[in-house]
Amino acid sequence: MGLSVYRIVQEAITNVVRHAAPAHCQASVSVVDRTVRISVVDDGPGQRVLPGQTGGHGLAGMRERAMMYGGAFEAGPRPGSGFGVYASWEIPDRPGSRRVCSRWARYGRSLDSGAHRR
């Protein structure tokens, strides 16, 4: 779970560097009432400003990481200016508890079965 938090923050900050040109960025990770909350926001223009490759898989990958834990993911332009990435999910009740993701539940697999790894 910790690796997913790290990778979401890493990818979101990488996107700021690649797409928001000179911008300030604020990243926040918190745990409130057994819920992990991730927020990465910038004050850039809210759209791609640098030339180069488009159509990456960064947002899709972040969404998948949040959804693995049955969580929520949202990304998009912020009101006024900037772009925001937000993710959250509940922490399982006890270490090692098996949490079934709805995406894998139809296949009878749980997250710790290794079925989601490539």
Average pLDDT, rounded, for the chain = 78
24 token code pair = 């300030």
**8 Å CB contact between 32 and 44:** no
Q: What's the CA gap between 39 and 106, in Å, rounded?
A: 30
Please give the tally of structural domains in the chain. Answer: 1
Residue 77 lies in a domain: yes
Answer whether residue 34 is part of any domain. yes
CA-CA distance, 26 to 103, in Å (whole number)? 31
pLDDT at residue 1, rounded to an integer: 87
What span, in angstroms and rounded, lies between the C-alpha atoms of 28 and 79?
Answer: 19
Q: What is the CATH number of the domain that holds 108?
A: 3.30.565.10
pLDDT of residue 90: 95
- Note whether residue 118 is domain-resident: no
Give the residue numbers spanning the domain of 30. 2-113
Which pLDDT tens digit goes with each residue over 70-117? 999 999 999 888 999 999 999 987 655 544 444 333 333 333 333 333
Q: Is residue 31 included in any domain, yes or no?
A: yes
Identify whether 55 is part of a domain.
yes
